[in-house]
Amino acid sequence: MFILWFNPKALSRSWDASEGERAPFLRNEPVRLTPAWEGSNLPNDTLNLKGIAMDLVPPKDKWNLIYLTLILHGLGTLTAWNMLITAKDYFVSYKLANAPLYAENLMPYMGWAAQVPNLIFSWINIFVEIGGDLTTRIVWSLCLEVVMLVVTVIFAMVDSSEWPVIFFWVTMVTVFLLCGSNAIFQNSVYGVSARLPPQYTGAVVLGSNIAGTLVVFLNWASDEFTQSHRTSAIYYFICGIFVLLICFDTYFALPLNRFYRYHVTLQERTLQVNPTLATNNPPVKQKTPYGLIFRQGFIQFYNVFLTFFVTLTVFPTIHSDIKPMSTDFFGNQFTRITCFLTFNAMAMIGSITASLWRYPTPRWLSVFTTLRILFIPLFLLCNYQPLGKQRTLPVLINNDWVYWVMAIVMGWSSGHGSSLGMMYVGGTVAPEHAATAGMLGAAMLVTGIVSGITFSCFSPSFVSLGAWSSM
């Protein structure tokens, strides 16, 4: 987000000897934004927050514009990745048809190419200031994502049937750069939302869950209305570009909103008036106490990590390979409905319920997230049939309705628990450290994803152990 730079005199308290101490107001002095919005001929009253009592009369988020904007940015954080995995048939059956070995290993390679840089850049982004502020990180990461998607669209239009291996490795490099820049964008957005009330962090999580649901419907529609893998892939990637460009535009409009400016200004004002932050040499930047922040927010970081670890262990590796016990249960749409649509829709609903019903409380959320570990053995006991493996573990949950109810609860608890964890992160530390805590929470989110994906690789071997055949 944009950083508001004030003349320190504008942060002084107003005093009246005859009336006693009054509520602090911002004085009507010029405000310089980065980029310089004061050069856009806006009214002075708008730029100077005239009439806003910082302590007593906080402005409202009119028409929920900031909330909706952060939902959109949450949508942008997962759009590119969802576009890539949804276009699996395009890669496997169309682009890599002449290279079966690469086609068979596409998803594992793509998963690691996406998540390893995501993990690396998420942590680097916390400790290394790229350009010094969140605005620079978000702008440049979005620009690089758009460029990579443009490259992907161009390759979709080009006939690569004569050089599929080159196409494969170019795609891996593209995915690496795309998801690496997306990692910077993602945890920078969480850092920005941490400056606002907790429900605005939940809005980012809600947006990321909406992304999956929308892409499932796009995939379904493409199967119904077009048989061309090439055409559907082009539409997917163009939609991703469109979403990212909207994120870019709306981000630059945020400083025009009074509600957003109020909270950013309040944070800046807190830094100025907090005596524990005073130094004899103000130009020298204070060292961020990462250790203190991590200790204070450890429980919520644990909740975020564990929620995504369990979710990514089960979904989509185990979840998508569970077969129906009855052929009449949703027919040939069984996996699409019970796995992809159910998980994404329920995760989206879970994000909404977290905003409306903040339970469990911060103290008890760890119980909720720890109990979710039970989903891993429960889904393995369903009719999970991994590709290329002979299952020897007995199928103990052999009712399709029971499996679907489990899928519903797992999806909802993922959205609800992850949203609550991210919303609680900012409240565990001092206001001046909220942005750093938000970025740490996002890094723990990605760490949970990578750990879950890695652990899920052992699932096929676990259900195929020879010891199970003797039971």
Indicate the pLDDT class of residue 57, thresholds 50, 70 and 90. Answer: low
pLDDT tier for residue 466 given thresholds of 50, 70 and 90: low
* 340 DSSP 8-state letter: I
Pick the more confident residue, 314 or 126: 314
- Residue 42 pLDDT exceeds 70: no
113 vs 56, higher pLDDT: 113
> What are the contacts of 89-98 at 24+ separation with CB within 8 A?
89/229, 90/156, 90/229, 90/230, 90/232, 90/233, 91/171, 93/229, 94/229, 94/230, 94/233, 95/160, 95/164, 95/167, 95/171, 96/164, 96/167, 96/168, 97/161, 97/164, 98/161, 98/164
pTM score, two decimals? Answer: 0.68
Which tens digits make up the pLDDT trace of 4-31? 333 433 433 333 433 333 444 344 444 4
What domains, with CATH codes, occur in the chain? Answer: 62-256 (1.20.1250.20), 290-470 (1.20.1250)
Q: Do 439 and 125 meet the contact criterion of CB atoms below 8 Å apart?
A: yes
The pLDDT tens digits for 214-254 are 877 877 776 677 777 777 777 778 888 888 899 888 888 88
DSSP summary character for residue 25: B
387-402 residue pLDDT tens:
767 888 999 999 999 9
Q: State the pairing for strand pair 15-16/20-21.
A: antiparallel
Q: pLDDT, tens digit, for every residue of 322-358? A: 999 988 888 888 888 998 889 989 988 998 898 888 8
